[in-house]
Amino acid sequence: MPTTLVEPIPQGTRASLDDLLDTFLEIVPEATGVVVAGPNGNPVASTLPEEQRIQVLAATAMAKLAMWAGDAVAANLRLPGMHVVTIEGPGWKVIFAPTPSHSGSVLVTIEEPSDATPIHQALPGLLEAVDRTLDAGAVR
């Protein structure tokens, strides 16, 4: 069950985010966890256990930094832009992407040897839904 972290958000927004994360995990069983961060990078909802709170805070902060670095690399290579950052390690992946309006971002964890393709296919829909939910709740 998702838990809200750090940033206070309206109850209706929290329930909507919880529902979105639950649905995403049902549709994409390759994903092992999902975190939604608000516009300032603080996590507002997560399916990760509450005892991992400090790791979730650190991960979203570092993911924002990775996104900034990815944007800079793409710009320096004169590439049209970057949408997703994927960080891989032995037996795991973390996929991080901003919502379309950049009002928030989503971090998805995956364990190897799972295929990340279903996550990449479902991620745009999740990002749009998170964007609408955050905008409706006016999380700032």
Residue 128: inside a domain = yes
Q: Where are the alpha helices (DSSP H) in the chain?
A: 11-27, 53-76, 117-137
Mean pLDDT throughout 21-28? 93
Domain housing 56: 29-113+124-137
pLDDT given at position 2? 59
In a domain, 69, yes or no: yes
* pLDDT, tens only, 27-69: 999 999 999 988 878 888 889 877 777 888 888 888 888 888 8
Within a domain: 79: yes
Question: What would the 3-class secondary structure string for 76-110 be?
Answer: HCCCCCCCCEEEEECCEEEEEEECCCCCCEEEEEE
**Does residue 21 sit within a domain?**
no
Structural domain count, the chain = 1
The pLDDT of residue 119: 93
CATH code at position 59: 3.30.450.30
**82 falls within a domain:** yes
Q: What is the pLDDT of residues 83-140, one digit of tens each?
A: 898 888 898 899 999 999 988 899 999 987 888 899 999 999 999 999 998 887 654 4
